[in-house]
Structure formats: C-alpha cells, structure tokens
Amino acid sequence: MARQITNSIAMVRPIAFYFNEETAANDFFQKNLGEKRDVVQAKALIEFDGFVDKLREKGITVNVIQDDDSVFYTPDSIFPNNWFVSLEDNKLVLCPMFAKDRRTERTKFLGSLVAAIGKDTLEIHDYTKYEAEGRYLEGTGAMILDRVNKKAYCCLSERADEGLFRQFCADFGFKPVPFHGFQTYREQRVPIYHTNVMMALGEKFAVVCLSAIDDEKERQAVVDELTESGKEILDVSEDEIDNFAGNEIELEGADGKRYTVMTHSTFNVLTDAQKAVIEKSSEILIGDVHTIETYGGGSVRCMISELY
C-alpha cells in the first residue's frame, strides 16, 4: 500500500555552500549578503548539523551523505531533492537539471544514495538525456506527489517542463495537475521556480498559496483535486511563502508519530489558526536554517529527499 510519508530520508552535508549565480537566474528567493565564502559555509554547517540532530532525536532515519572537494564544484549539493525522486517498488528516477553546475551532483552522490536506499535491486529511470534539449524536471522540487491518491502537482517553469511532467505521470501512474504560479518580485509577476516553495502535502492536509495561481481555472482545479483527495487546505499568503511556508514536509518519527518540519521563518509568520490545522494530525518540528535559506533560496524541504 502506498505511503505519503516516510521515516527514511537522505541529506547532503555541504563542503562549498554559497550563493549560486547560475540558479539565481530564476530563483528569486536567493539573496547574496556579501559575506565571505568560508563564513557562509561555516554557518551552513552549523545549521545543517543542528537540523540533522533534531530530526534524529525524533526517530527519523537520516542518511547523511558528505560532499567532498573533488573536481566537481557543487555549491547547491545541500538541496538533493532536485536531482532524483525515490518511488516505492524500488524505483529511482534521475532528473534533468536546469543549472549545469548542479548536474554533477548525480555523478558525485549516486553511489552513496543507492547504498542509503539499501536495495539489492533498484530500477533506475534516467530522464537526464533531456538536458541536451533544454528540458528540465527537478525532482520533488518541481513536483509535489500525492503518493496515496496517485496525483502529481506541478508549477510549470523553466525547471518544470510540462511535457516531461506528463511523461513522468504516465510512466509512474500519477494524474497530472499542472498549473502556473507567480510571485511578485520588484513589482512584477514572475514565475515561481519550484512547486515546493508554494505547496506542501501531508497525509491529512495541504499547504498551498492559492493567490499565486493567477489563472482562476487552474486555481480551482488544484482546489478540486485536493478536496477530492480529502486534504484540508491551508491557504497561505505570498508573504508567508516568502518565508518558506510552502517549503514544509511531513515525516514519520518513532512509533509512527507524524512531524511537520518547517523553519523558524515559517513558524513565525503562520497564524495560530494555520498552525492548528497542521497540529490536528502532526507535531510541528522547527529547524533553524536561516543562512541556507538566504543564500540558497530553499529551506528545510529542499534539504530533504525522501527514501521509499
């Protein structure tokens, strides 16, 4: 039987984390405060290690993969959920990536990932050939998977090609729910680069910024699909997703207890009523990753790759 949440995750401990100019082309959550590289890396390590400890204290199995300083420079390795998707039935999907300096993450870490999954046989589906065509589908950053109801939600962008999204859904039996999401940046409406900064799914609830979906038909389609699947919708504002309210993830801890993982930035902007929706079925677990959010443009969910 399909499971929406898992107890086992992979995370990559960085060695060269910093502001990535290449990804900043369409990730408008990134900010470069101009600190020295070694300072940013040191702060990121403190945040990473503290976050891993918090997860493990709750009985969540965290497989930490250590980045290295080999010939491949990987400034965004801390966000591994973009280059692969782990599915049940021992399936692993390798995903095509927008930024060239991120593609080497697959080369660096695939062996360690396979070891962490721990399966004797693993069915690998390789979509990376589409990079040569300029078509990308960046894993569970680009797609929000309802694994139980077999639906996939996707905010289409430069990093989420509609054709590849529909191919993924056909290959693995998901109903595609594509839409266009926008954020206000420098007084203009610009595309949201990843679905998982504006949307998150738990077993019982869905966090989504409906106002980011400008097209009324697309917005209603998302609402209808979530409602049909029995999800209580927690509608967050654009200001709240600027504080990574969409970048949450629900995980399973010891004795099957559910934890919804979010950052301090998110916890501080959510109202008590919004938190209460989550707390009906899941305990909130807070990670402090401010430096990673600022320079990387991603938060706790981007740092976590589920293993099934």
**Single pTM value for the model:** 0.94
Question: Rounded CA gap, 248 and 209, in Å?
Answer: 13
Task: Report the mean per-residue pLDDT for the chain.
Answer: 93
**How many C-beta atoms surround the C-beta of residue 275 within 10 A?**
15
Listed in sequence order, the residues at least 6 apart from 293 whose beta carbon sits closer than 8 Å to its beta carbon are 29, 244, 263, 265, 299
Q: Which residue has the tokens 């801390």?
A: 78
How far apart are alpha carbons 1 and 75 in whole angstroms?
37
Going by pLDDT thresholds of 50, 70 and 90, the confidence category of residue 27 is: low
- For residue 126, count other CB atoms closer than 10 A to its CB: 12
Structure tokens, 121: 């046989």
Confidence of residue 120 (pLDDT cuts 50, 70, 90): confident
Per-residue DSSP letters for 146-208?
Answer: ETTTTEEEEE-BTTB-HHHHHHHHHHHTPEEEEE--EEEETTEEEE-S-GGGTEEE-SSEEEE
CB of 214 closer than 8 Å to CB of 205: no
Mean predicted confidence (pLDDT) in 105-113: 94
Hey, what CATH class is 8-306 in? alpha beta
Measured in whole angstroms, how far is the alpha carbon of residue 300 from the centre of its chain? 8
CA distance 117 to 50: 23
Task: Give the tens place of pLDDT for each residue, 240-288.
Answer: 999 999 999 999 999 999 999 999 999 999 999 999 999 999 999 999 9
Residue 37: pLDDT band with limits 50, 70, 90: confident
For residue 206, pLDDT beyond 80: yes
d(C-alpha 183, C-alpha 187), whole Å = 9
Distance between CA 288 and CA 69 in Å, rounded? 25
Nearest to 247 by CA among 190, 208, 294: 208
Torsion sign (Cα): 135, 140, 143, 148: positive
> What pLDDT was estimated at residue 23?
67
Sign for the CA dihedral angle at 109, 137, 24, 71 comes to positive
Residue 29 — pLDDT band, cuts 50, 70, 90?
Answer: low
Residue 28: pLDDT above 60? no
User: What is the structure's pLDDT at 216?
Assistant: 97
Domain ranges for the chain: 8-306
The pLDDT of 12-29, averaged and rounded, is 73
* Average pLDDT value for residue range 183-206: 92
Average pLDDT over residues 110-126: 89
Instruction: Give how far the C-alpha of residue 177 lies from the chain's centroid of Cα atoms, to the nearest Å.
Output: 17
